Copies of this chain bind each other. A is one copy, B any other.
Amino acid sequence: EVLAPLKLRKRQYFLQEGERCRYFGFIVKGAMRQYTVDEKGVEHIIRLGVENWWMGDRESWVMNTPSAYNIDAWEDTEMLILTRASALEMISKSPAFVELTRRLDERNNIANQRRLTSSISGTAEKKYTDFLDCYPELVGRFPQHIIASYLGITKDTLSRVRRNLMQK
């Protein structure tokens, strides 16, 4: 009824740039990424997700505008998806649902704040060690060039950072 199951295979899109984001999806099993592609064809990962995380483009979902992002599956993934209409209906009918989403938003805000702080404050090494502290569950699920992109550095720089960390 409210949540519908959806299976995606590796590399399959959940959302493509230019589409409107009609669903928010909860990852039951699998791993996903959200990213933009610049003029040169380079992907910039802005979000990664694994089990128990929600994926979707909030801006497109809320404003009903074309999305600037792509979201696809990095592993075969099982989701539960929620439409905007269902969400608004739930919001109007269920105080518990409102409370739930409020907490999710709060957590999301806090996580974004932390990431932003790390992103503007430090060196590549700092960003990587912050990432290891903060998201150990993501390490190993994605290859290094994906994580590098998530951190806003190149895979070569990440490789150097790791080499330096080894020697300590």
Contact = CB atoms under 8 A, between A and B. Distances in A.
Please classify the interface of chain A as helix (H, G, I), strand (E, B), loop, or mixed, using the class held by over half of its residues: helix
A38 interface: yes
Interface residues of A, number: 30
A46 B115 CA distance: 11
Interface string A139-150: 000000000011
A57 to B, nearest CB: 8
Interface string A89-133: 001000000100110011011101111110111000000000000
B110 A59 contact: yes
Nearest to A127: B120
A58 interface: yes
Contact of A46 (B38, B109, B120, B149): B120
A35 to B, nearest CB: 10
A120 B151 contact: yes
A91 B152 CA distance: 38
A22 interface: no
A44 interface: yes
25 contacts: A36-B117, A36-B121, A44-B117, A46-B117, A58-B106, A58-B113, A59-B113, A59-B114, A62-B110, A68-B117, A91-B102, A98-B98, A102-B102, A102-B105, A105-B106, A108-B109, A112-B112, A112-B113, A115-B116, A116-B116, A116-B119, A119-B119, A120-B149, A120-B150, A121-B152
Q: List the 7 shortest-distance A-B pairs measured between CB atoms, nearest first.
A: A120-B152, A112-B112, A105-B105, A44-B121, A59-B110, A119-B119, A46-B117
